[in-house]
Amino acid sequence: MKRSIRLMGVCFSLSIPMTGNAQTPPQGQDQPPSLPSYRPGLGDLMTMTVQPRHTKLGLAGREKNWPYAAYELHELEESFERAARVWPRWRTFAVAEAMQAVTKEPMTDLSEAIKNADAGRFTEAYGKLTEACNLCHQSAERGMIVIQVPGASSFPDQNFRRP
């Protein structure tokens, strides 16, 4: 038993310097060239940031979890802003202007519905926001991308009910 403990200690002490050396480039060698920064496509940003926020906002509203709905509405606004900042124009399409034009009214209505805990008004405003997303897609000649009110959660590890 003592021999195994001693052997484990020796192995452990020998592995420490080797780990450090494995991560340090040999002296005299230059660092590898830095990779170009990643610029996700507009479709990537929509799929990674906008679409999940739209879904979570709808699910929070369905469950009348107003604090979480307010949070997701804010996150959705930021997702739109980030997408427009990275892609101010997509082909000849002015992204920021189009998003603002079609989402301003439904987003304002959603904010009011959330503040007033008005489920009926939330449902109506969320439907208008969803229609606005589709109008934007059609205007950008991407009408095959059709957004809808979520029927079920695509986030099985998250409970949308208010605690």
**The pLDDT value given to residue 130:** 98
- The alpha carbon of 106 is separated from its chain's Cα centroid by a whole number of angstroms, namely 20
pLDDT digits (tens, 9 = 90+) for 31-70: 667 778 888 999 999 999 999 999 999 999 999 999 999 9
SS3 helix, strand, coil % of the chain, rounded to 5? 65, 0, 35
Percent of the chain with pLDDT over 70: 80
pLDDT computed for residue 35 by the predictor:
76
The whole-chain average pLDDT of the chain stands at: 86
- Structural domain including 101 reads 42-139
Both tokens of 135, joined, read: 């109008």
| pLDDT over threshold 90, residue 5 | no
Residue 5 counted as domain residue: no
pLDDT at 15: 44
Domain count, the chain: 1
Residue 125 in any domain: the answer is yes
Q: What is the CATH number of the domain that holds 74?
A: 1.20.120
Report d(CA 32, CA 130) in Å as an integer: 46
| 96 within a domain of the structure (yes/no) | yes
pLDDT at 152 over 50: yes
Question: What pLDDT is stored for residue 40 in this prediction?
Answer: 93
Residue 87: how many other CB atoms lie within 10 Å: 19
Write the pLDDT tens digit of every residue in 103-148: 999 999 999 999 999 999 999 999 999 999 999 999 999 999 999 9
> Domain for residue 35, yes or no?
no
pLDDT tens for 27-39 read 656 666 777 888 8
Pair 118, 76: CB distance under 8 Å: no
Q: Would the pTM of this model clear 0.85, i.e. be above it?
A: no
Tell me, yes or no, whether 23 lies in a domain: no
